Amino acid sequence: MPPAFTILIDPWRIDPLTWLHRAEARAILRELRAAGGAVEVNAFDRRALPRGEWILLRLSDSVMVDAARAFTAAGIAYCGPGLHALERCYDKWRAYQIVARAGVDCPETRFAAENDAFRGPVVVKPRRGSDSIGMRVIRGGPLPEKLRNESMLVQPQVFGTELTVGVVDGVAGLPMRLELPEGVPYTFLRKYLTRPKRAPLADRALAARVQQTALVAANALGVDWAARVDFILERASRRLLFLECDAAPLIGPASAFAASLSVSGMARAEQLARLLANV
């Protein structure tokens, strides 16, 4: 670990993502200080980018993109996701096209304006963003008119087991099974505020399949730092379907990302060393 480090966080604002990321930054701050590092936390300000320091970006989605763009334009190195990986992963339509071309199975996806193509319950989600923000299930009838536009995507609802995998430095952790009742969507609220129990996937052959698929998806999307890759294993067909790649996941000690890597045998100290090795 470097002798001095700056963790950049969101400026204070009333937003649940800001609260989550600021809390995570405090947890990482405690870890790094316990390891003997001189670490401080500062709010991100694009008008006054730090220079000549070791910098870790722990920012909410929109601020992370803004910061990655600012640091990239200024030629300042940092620990965090690259701008192009963020842009590819945040655009779910583009991400589905990319991973499908790489041979990864995905749910059939259309723009919400074309919702009449699907019968039965559907999942509607914003085209851009992450962390399942804005996702909802429509169980019957036509979509509300306000959702029928090119900024929203629609997919048939898939019933099965939700899985998540941490990826860092080209290494995939052990898939974690999310203990959600079948058909209950893994929304932002459930992902971060009322977290379901999670457990390592016991089926070794399936776990290896999920790990390999996660690496294929992450590589196709150009992930250059850390990511959390989400899948659903369809119960009826056993199809493993890609749902999302978050190129700027929560990486704190209590995160699903950390749990996935820890149960695969990667100690937390090694996780941090990999996460801080990009500068």
Task: Write the pLDDT tens digit of every residue in 232-245.
Answer: 999 999 999 999 99
Query: What's the CATH number of domain 88-105+159-275, 1.20.1060.10, 3.40.605.10, 3.30.1640.10, 3.30.470.20?
Result: 3.30.470.20
| 9-42 pLDDT tens trace | 999 888 878 888 899 999 999 999 998 888 999 9
pLDDT (0 to 100) of residue 117:
63
CA distance 69 to 205: 40
* Cα separations in angstroms, 137 against 76, 114, 147, 186, 242: 42, 16, 12, 11, 18
- pLDDT band, residue 1 (cuts 50/70/90): low
3-state secondary structure of 58: coil
Answer yes or no: are the C-beta atoms of 89 and 95 closer than 8 Å. yes
Could you tell me the pTM of the whole model? 0.92
Task: Over range 181-205, report the average pLDDT.
Answer: 82
DSSP 154-173: EEEPP-EEEEEEEEETTEE-
pLDDT (0 to 100) of residue 209:
98
Least confident of 33-37, 156-160, 184-188: 184-188
Answer yes or no: are the C-beta atoms of 164 and 249 closer than 8 Å. no
- pLDDT band, residue 52 (cuts 50/70/90): low
pLDDT of 104 over the 80 cut: yes
What single letter denotes the amino acid at residue 224? Answer: D
